[in-house]
A and B are shown apart, each in its own frame.
Chain A
């Protein structure tokens, strides 16, 4: 009875919140390899949603379809109510300013300084900020939010792995997006730096009031940041719930994720 009430409460709470991302029946194949088989997702305003799945389960393909880096075979992807599969290049670029993307390998432009890395997204989207003549305050604010204001003139090659991740996050935040996509935010980092990045993700979410979609293998990361989780198996939603609900599941496949 209590559990039913809880589900009803959560559903009511979610229906009152704005839907930021909605994926319906997403399918993507590469030849005979069906990577996504009718994947569904809803991300609400201010929510932290974690997607966990084994390697090759379609997580990265899904996130690439979400930002238009890959074309899905079928299904719809709505970002703040707009179906991105039906947008032209200019409309897609405009909607992309509302999405920050933290790449697994950081993807910092290695021929540019930290400042130029952060300035790059602003080049074509200055109109998002009224009367923006000087980009320095925005850059300083983004760098301060990740605690690396002193690195502004350094090259990416002069930074450690954790610092690169923070700068990549600062770049994802520079356009003040409403949604942030994290692709394996703690991969390749030592446990201490991973904890710092997880803490930073929580802090940034509070400061910028973003909705976050986090793809990860890291159970610790999922435990700390998730409000809701989806387990992706063979390109489709296998299980959904809070971390506690899934961690205490009796299903063998679900249990395997938390071992």
Chain B
């Protein structure tokens, strides 16, 4: 009985999230446009995440190189390190790990922010003052995250490759020019483009879930905590599902 109600509420939530996404697409193309708020959100989301993304990227590069080096050394294939690391980072590890840290930071942030605005009636106050709160709060945040995540991923990927170079330089005495020559020789547009396209969807999904949870927050301050927490969980799950779909589609078009 309890299992049935859990399944039922899960599907109700999926339905509501779909309706919420539909409302976003309806509102995003209708006037008035909130350009000023969109720019403010882009700055806020990008600025809040850049350090975290940089540090995460750097550590990904360091760790991946350190962990892979002994195995490649065993086969005498250390020279393959730049191409192997760059393809792994650009295609999969960079976008997914950076999107996950972004989800932890942004989805919870948006969920908590909108949730507390909901329970303190600030969203109602916007509505009463004749401003569409969905457009002002939700549309701008989703668009900002959709725009900013691909930029952050490219930045994070670059830092990760630099981290990898530092290890290669320390352990194998490889120069900066040689390392990055090998990286660019190994990479193709078919590695970069699908990986970048999927990050737009990741950004959209992360902010959509954060906004959905926060905007529909109930039950006071406890509800705010739940909204922030469940926003991260749902966003992370959705990320892996989207990643699987993206890899599947990429495989069809680019034969990876």
A, B assembled together? yes
Give the interface of A toward B (CB within 8 A). 64, 67-69, 89, 93-94, 96-97, 99, 101, 103-105, 107-111, 120-121, 123-125, 171, 175
A-B contacts, 12 listed (Cβ < 8 Å): A64-B124, A67-B127, A67-B128, A94-B130, A99-B128, A103-B124, A105-B121, A120-B126, A121-B129, A121-B130, A171-B125, A175-B129
In the bound complex, do residue A103 and residue B125 qualify as a contact, i.e. CB atoms below 8 Å apart?
Answer: yes
Partner of A109, one of B122, B128, B132: B122
Give the interface of B toward A (CB within 8 A). 32, 113, 117, 120-122, 124-132
B121 contacts across to A, CB distance below 8 A: 103-105, 107
In the bound complex, do residue A89 and residue B124 qualify as a contact, i.e. CB atoms below 8 Å apart?
Answer: no
In the bound complex, do residue B32 and residue A107 qualify as a contact, i.e. CB atoms below 8 Å apart?
Answer: no
In the bound complex, do residue B129 and residue A120 qualify as a contact, i.e. CB atoms below 8 Å apart?
Answer: yes
Give A111 to B127 CA distance when docked, in angstroms: 17
In the bound complex, do residue B131 and residue A69 qualify as a contact, i.e. CB atoms below 8 Å apart?
Answer: no
Give A105 to B221 CA distance when docked, in angstroms: 14
B218 to chain A: closest CB distance in Å? 13
B117 contacts across to A, CB distance below 8 A: 109
In the bound complex, do residue B124 and residue A105 qualify as a contact, i.e. CB atoms below 8 Å apart?
Answer: no
The 3 closest A-B pairs by CB, nearest first: A121-B129, A107-B125, A93-B130
Partner of A69, one of B120, B124, B130: B124
- What residue in chain B is nearest A112 (Cβ atoms)? B122
In the bound complex, do residue A123 and residue B125 qualify as a contact, i.e. CB atoms below 8 Å apart?
Answer: no
In the bound complex, do residue A124 and residue B130 qualify as a contact, i.e. CB atoms below 8 Å apart?
Answer: yes
In the bound complex, do residue A69 and residue B132 qualify as a contact, i.e. CB atoms below 8 Å apart?
Answer: no
B104 to chain A: closest CB distance in Å? 21
The residue in B32, B127, B128, B132 that gathers the most chain A C-beta atoms within 10 A of its C-beta is: B128
A206 to chain B: closest CB distance in Å? 24
Give A111 to B113 CA distance when docked, in angstroms: 10
In the bound complex, do residue B130 and residue A96 qualify as a contact, i.e. CB atoms below 8 Å apart?
Answer: yes
4 new A-B contacts, CB < 8 A, other than A110-B120, A171-B129, are: A94-B130, A120-B131, A124-B130, A124-B131
A171 contacts across to B, CB distance below 8 A: 125, 129
- What residue in chain A is nearest B34 (Cβ atoms)? A123
Give A235 to B130 CA distance when docked, in angstroms: 28
Give A68 to B132 CA distance when docked, in angstroms: 13
Give A74 to B79 CA distance when docked, in angstroms: 76
Give A108 to B130 CA distance when docked, in angstroms: 15
In the bound complex, do residue A107 and residue B130 qualify as a contact, i.e. CB atoms below 8 Å apart?
Answer: no
In the bound complex, do residue A123 and residue B122 qualify as a contact, i.e. CB atoms below 8 Å apart?
Answer: no
- What residue in chain B is nearest A70 (Cβ atoms)? B124
Give A97 to B128 CA distance when docked, in angstroms: 8
A108 contacts across to B, CB distance below 8 A: 122, 125
Partner of A125, one of B125, B128, B130, B132: B130
Give A99 to B122 CA distance when docked, in angstroms: 16
- What residue in chain B is nearest A125 (Cβ atoms)? B130
A124 contacts across to B, CB distance below 8 A: 32, 130-131
B32 contacts across to A, CB distance below 8 A: 124
B121 to chain A: closest CB distance in Å? 4
A123 contacts across to B, CB distance below 8 A: 131
A89 contacts across to B, CB distance below 8 A: 132
Give A101 to B124 CA distance when docked, in angstroms: 10
Contacts known (A103-B121, A105-B120); A96 close to B128, Cβ less than 8 A: yes
- What residue in chain A is nearest B125 (Cβ atoms)? A107
In the bound complex, do residue A121 and residue B131 qualify as a contact, i.e. CB atoms below 8 Å apart?
Answer: yes
Give A94 to B128 CA distance when docked, in angstroms: 10
Partner of B127, one of A69, A94, A109, A175: A69
B122 contacts across to A, CB distance below 8 A: 107-110
